[in-house]
Amino acid sequence: MNSSRGKPKGNPTLVAALKTLKRLQEKHDGVVEASDLKDDEQRILLVETGFLRPVMKGWYICSSPSDNDADTTAWYASFWAFVSGYLGKRFGKRYCLNPEASLMLHTGNTTVPRQVTCVTIDSGTSKVDLPFNTSLLIYPDKNRVSNARLEVRGLQAWPVAEALCLVGPSFFVNNPREAEIALATVRHASELLPTLLAGDKMVTAAGRLAAAFEFVKRPDEAEHIQKAFAKLKITLKLVNPFELAEPTITPSKERSPYVLRLRSMWAGWRQDVINVFPPSPGIKQEGADYLAQVDERYVSDAYNSLSIEGYRVTDELIERVASGDWNPDGDSQHNRTRDALAARGYYQAFQAVKESIGKVLAKDNAGLVVKRDHHEWYAELFGASVTAGIVEASQLTGYRRGPIFIRNSMHTPLPSEALLDSLETLWDLIETEPEASVRAVLGHHLFVFIHPYFDGNGRIGRFLMNTLLASGGYPWTVIRMSRRDVYMKALEAASVQGQIKPLAEFIAQEMNEWSPERETKNNAKG
């Protein structure tokens, strides 16, 4: 993007352009096609001022004037909306994501992929290069476009049962979590049989899926597939496609892919945390002594929010541009006021968290404590900002009701409609987990993974971590600003690569290295 942007103030031309952009962003989820923005002067002005970022010829996404060329947030936030809009514009409904990509969508995988593969009915092969090393691979094969395709996140996709029959064994090796979730969403093996028995019978795939059902502890489904083929005088050779030692999801009636994903992550990761985290010392101190040590660490514990809502043109912004009260480089006075209120809110939330820790030290179940009290922490965190009119009071009433994005992360937090079920699952996992280290590390990560609020998720997540650390007698742990990059990479490794070990090691290291002298030195440097 152009780094030398002007600073139009009181500019009626920009006001008109922003009103047009606001209408288009709401219609297309932040993706703008050039043909929708008919006024070329408006389009050029919006690009020059940083409100629009080019993706490819004829296509743009909404962005923030404060973004630089290396900032991936706007693109990752708009990725699926762009893919949906582009494919829909080019092919209508005469395409389908390939079975592998379809299953990734169906199973609640929210990571932005490096490449999405799509099959069309009547088009030539092409690769569409997109920003930040992402791409679309498109090829024609009418036999790989499902007649029963479903719309998922605005995209044409294979149904789960059909896709499971068509993916090869490599899918189970490379994406075991998604394979387990997909199997768990299949209610009965009979859903697979129309595909397995159609035309050239898919004997190898049938044997693979029967073995997969046996692996995930659903022998009745495995038997059902075998009996269907036995009636045709075909004996299946069962070959387990998984390379896992044990399944991570126990059989249940749960069908939400997001809930199943959380349970799989917890079960698959807990031993990794136990292996790298020091053993729990247990609660040995009097509650007052422990809380006194917590107070010692208060000054060094403030940490900036890790999340953003995703950039949107608002009526407030339009009014500020119209009145000449908009500065694309930021408002220093506003920022100082915001920071002061954030500091006040953090102090008040810290006091509320101490009360929760007191309950934990008194041997209340830590999972029940954080479930009951985290809303109070959040209300205290932003109460001062609401009073000052900087944050809307509606934000204190509950969880977010729209999408949110994490700056420069390929992980997209869960959709708002999945929040309540996912959080209930998280509280249940914390409540029933016997190891304090697992409660703290996985509780922290999965809370941030879900991202239930529009803002403050990082701060609440670390409050959650420290409350759960207290349940094992571990000390309050400060995540240093100087190690923010390491911390963010560890969170990204867990969310995107499925590796929890870096985060567990990082938290353990930060816990073990804390000292008043270290903090004094760090504060002096800052």
Read off the pLDDT of residues 28-70 as tens digits, 9 standing for 90 and up: 788 999 888 888 899 999 999 999 999 999 999 999 888 888 9
Q: What is the pLDDT of residue 129?
A: 96
- Residue 245 binned pLDDT confidence (cut-offs 50, 70, 90): very high
Q: 346-402, pLDDT tens digit by residue?
A: 888 999 999 999 999 999 999 999 999 999 999 998 887 666 555 666 666 689 988
Same domain flag for 333 and 431 = yes
- State what percent of residues in the chain have pLDDT above 90: 66
Same domain flag for 112 and 25 = no
Same domain flag for 194 and 299 = no
- Look at residue 238 and tell me if it is in a domain: no
Let me know: does 249 contact 255? Beta carbons within 8 Å. Answer: no
Q: What is the CATH number of the domain that holds 156?
A: 3.30.460
Q: What is the pLDDT of residue 341?
A: 66
Q: What is the CATH number of the domain that holds 24?
A: 1.10.10
Q: 83-115, pLDDT tens digit by residue?
A: 999 999 999 999 999 999 999 999 999 899 999
CA–CA distance, 361 with 335 (Å, rounded to integer):
38
Same domain flag for 176 and 129 = yes
CA–CA distance, 510 with 190 (Å, rounded to integer):
51
Pick the closest to residue 411 from 497, 483, 519, 286 (CA basis): 497
What is the dihedral sign for C-alpha 83, 452, 111, 405? positive
Same domain flag for 188 and 289 = no
- Look at residue 249 and tell me if it is in a domain: no
Pick the closest to residue 353 from 289, 396, 298 (CA basis): 298
pLDDT greater than 50 at residue 306: no
Distance from the Cα of residue 145 to its chain's centroid: 29
Structural domains in the chain (count):
3
Same domain flag for 389 and 486 = yes
CA–CA distance, 305 with 329 (Å, rounded to integer):
20
- Of 484 and 342, the structure prediction assigns the larger pLDDT to 484
Report the chain's terminal Cα–Cα distance, integer Å: 31
CA–CA distance, 423 with 227 (Å, rounded to integer):
40
- Residue 517 binned pLDDT confidence (cut-offs 50, 70, 90): low
- Look at residue 343 and tell me if it is in a domain: yes
Q: What is the pLDDT of residue 326?
A: 62
Pick the closest to residue 510 from 487, 485, 488 (CA basis): 487
Same domain flag for 31 and 120 = no
pLDDT greater than 80 at residue 307: no
- Look at residue 244 and tell me if it is in a domain: no
Same domain flag for 93 and 62 = no
In terms of C-beta distances under 8 Å and separation of at least 24 residues, what long-range contacts does 335-343 make, across chains too? 337/388, 337/390, 338/385, 338/390, 341/384, 341/385, 341/388, 341/390, 342/385, 343/302
- Residue 515 binned pLDDT confidence (cut-offs 50, 70, 90): low
Q: What is the pLDDT of residue 8?
A: 43
Give CA separation, 415 vs 327, 344, 397, 409, 514, in Å: 32, 31, 18, 16, 37
CB-based contacts of 334: which residues, under 8 Å, 6+ apart? none
Both structure tokens of 177:
């979590």
Same domain flag for 37 and 179 = no
Q: How large is the C-alpha radius of gyration of the chain?
A: 26
Number of Cβ atoms within 10 Å of the Cβ of 41: 10
Same domain flag for 21 and 114 = no
Average pLDDT over residues 315-319: 63
What pairing do the DSSP bridges indicate for beta strands 134-140 and 150-152?
Answer: unpaired
Characterise 58 by phi-psi region: left (phi > 0), alpha (psi -120 to 50), beta (else).
left
Q: What is the pLDDT of residue 473?
A: 95
Output phi, psi for 423, to 5 deg.
-70, -40
Same domain flag for 95 and 66 = no
Q: Whole domain around residue 470: which residue ranges?
A: 257-525
Average pLDDT over residues 124-129: 91
- Look at residue 295 and tell me if it is in a domain: yes
Q: What is the pLDDT of residue 347?
A: 83
CA–CA distance, 44 with 399 (Å, rounded to integer):
37
**The 59-62 sheet, strands edge to edge:** 31-33, 59-62, 52-56
Q: What is the CATH number of the domain that holds 280?
A: 1.10.3290.10
Q: In this structure, what DSSP letter does residue 411 have?
A: B
- Look at residue 403 and tell me if it is in a domain: yes
- Look at residue 106 and tell me if it is in a domain: yes
CA–CA distance, 452 with 409 (Å, rounded to integer):
16
- Residue 486 binned pLDDT confidence (cut-offs 50, 70, 90): very high
Same domain flag for 331 and 383 = yes
Name beta bridge partners: 31: 61
Let me know: does 12 contact 323? Beta carbons within 8 Å. Answer: no
Mean pLDDT for the chain overall: 87
Average pLDDT over residues 225-247: 97
Q: What is the pLDDT of residue 393?
A: 65
Q: What is the pTM of this model?
A: 0.87
Q: What is the pLDDT of residue 391?
A: 60
Average pLDDT over residues 471-496: 92
What pairing do the DSSP bridges indicate for beta strands 134-140 and 126-130?
Answer: antiparallel
Characterise 133 by phi-psi region: left (phi > 0), alpha (psi -120 to 50), beta (else).
left
Both structure tokens of 355:
């009360």
Let me know: does 440 contact 276? Beta carbons within 8 Å. Answer: no
- Look at residue 454 and tell me if it is in a domain: yes
pLDDT greater than 70 at residue 333: no
